[in-house]
Amino acid sequence: MRDLNHPAGVEGATMTGLSPDSKEQGQRRGRGLLFCGDPHGRFDHIVRAAISWPDVPVILLGDLEPERPLIDLLEPVWERTWLIHGNHDTDAQSVAERVWDPAVLGRHLHGRVVELPDGLSIAGLGGVFRGGVWYPDPESPLRGQPRFDSRAACMRSTPRHQRWQGDVALRHWSSIHHDEWLALRGMRCDVLVLHEAPGYHPHGVPVLDELARDMGARLVVHGHHHDALDSSGRWAAQGFRSFGVGLRGVTWIDPDTGESQVVVAGEPEQSQAGR
Ligand SMILES: [Fe+2]
Confidence at residue 268, expressed as pLDDT on a 0 to 100 scale? 83
Confidence at residue 182, expressed as pLDDT on a 0 to 100 scale? 98
More confident residue, 4 or 200: 200
Whether 152 is in a domain gets the answer no
Whether 160 is in a domain gets the answer no
Segment 179-191 mean pLDDT: 98
Cα 97 to averaged position of ligand 1 atoms, centre (Å): 18
Determine the structural domain holding residue 27 and report its residue range: 22-129+172-264
Confidence of residue 261 (pLDDT cuts 50, 70, 90): very high
Q: What is the mean pLDDT of the chain?
A: 89
Whether 5 is in a domain gets the answer no
Instruction: Give, as residue ranges, everything with CB less than 5 Å from ion ligand 1.
Output: 63, 86-87, 224, 275
Looking at the chain, list the stretches that DSSP marks H as alpha helix, in order from N- to C-terminal side: 22-27, 44-51, 70-73, 93-99, 151-156, 178-185, 206-215, 235-238
Cα 88 to averaged position of ligand 1 atoms, centre (Å): 6
Whether 26 is in a domain gets the answer yes
pLDDT digits (tens, 9 = 90+) for 189-198: 999 999 999 9
Segment 83-98 mean pLDDT: 98
For the beta carbon of residue 188, count every other beta carbon within 10 angstroms.
12
Confidence at residue 1, expressed as pLDDT on a 0 to 100 scale? 31
pLDDT beyond 80 at 4: no
pLDDT beyond 70 at 59: yes
Cα 275 to averaged position of ligand 1 atoms, centre (Å): 4
Cα 271 to averaged position of ligand 1 atoms, centre (Å): 13
Cα 171 to averaged position of ligand 1 atoms, centre (Å): 13
Cα 70 to averaged position of ligand 1 atoms, centre (Å): 18
Cα 71 to averaged position of ligand 1 atoms, centre (Å): 21
Cα 27 to averaged position of ligand 1 atoms, centre (Å): 36
Cα 196 to averaged position of ligand 1 atoms, centre (Å): 7
Cα 199 to averaged position of ligand 1 atoms, centre (Å): 16
Confidence at residue 248, expressed as pLDDT on a 0 to 100 scale? 97
Cα 226 to averaged position of ligand 1 atoms, centre (Å): 8
pLDDT beyond 80 at 5: no
Whether 147 is in a domain gets the answer no
* Alpha-carbon span 231 to 102, nearest angstrom: 37
Confidence at residue 269, expressed as pLDDT on a 0 to 100 scale? 67
91 φ, ψ (degrees, to nearest 5): -70, -30
Cα 266 to averaged position of ligand 1 atoms, centre (Å): 14
131 and 141 Cβ atoms separated by less than 8 Å: yes
Cα 87 to averaged position of ligand 1 atoms, centre (Å): 5
Confidence at residue 3, expressed as pLDDT on a 0 to 100 scale? 34
Whether 114 is in a domain gets the answer yes
pLDDT digits (tens, 9 = 90+) for 76-88: 999 999 999 999 9
Confidence at residue 31, expressed as pLDDT on a 0 to 100 scale? 78
Whether 143 is in a domain gets the answer no
pLDDT digits (tens, 9 = 90+) for 110-129: 999 999 998 999 999 999 99
Q: Comparing 24-28, 157-161, 232-236, which segment has the lowest mean pLDDT?
A: 24-28
* β partners of residue 250: 36, 264
Confidence of residue 41 (pLDDT cuts 50, 70, 90): very high
Confidence of residue 270 (pLDDT cuts 50, 70, 90): low
Cα 26 to averaged position of ligand 1 atoms, centre (Å): 37
**42, 166, 173, 176 from 148: Cα distances, Å:** 35, 17, 14, 11
Cα 183 to averaged position of ligand 1 atoms, centre (Å): 23
* Alpha-carbon span 59 to 38, nearest angstrom: 11
Confidence at residue 232, expressed as pLDDT on a 0 to 100 scale? 96
Whether 235 is in a domain gets the answer yes
Taking only Cα atoms into account, the Rg of the chain, rounded to an integer number of angstroms, comes to: 18
Cα 174 to averaged position of ligand 1 atoms, centre (Å): 10
CA torsion angle 45 49 52 54 (round to 10) = -120
Cα 138 to averaged position of ligand 1 atoms, centre (Å): 22
Structural domains of the chain, count: 1
The CATH number of the domain holding residue 204 is: 3.60.21.10
pLDDT digits (tens, 9 = 90+) for 203-236: 999 999 999 999 999 999 999 999 999 999 999 9
204 and 197 Cβ atoms separated by less than 8 Å: yes
Confidence of residue 142 (pLDDT cuts 50, 70, 90): very high
Cα 39 to averaged position of ligand 1 atoms, centre (Å): 10
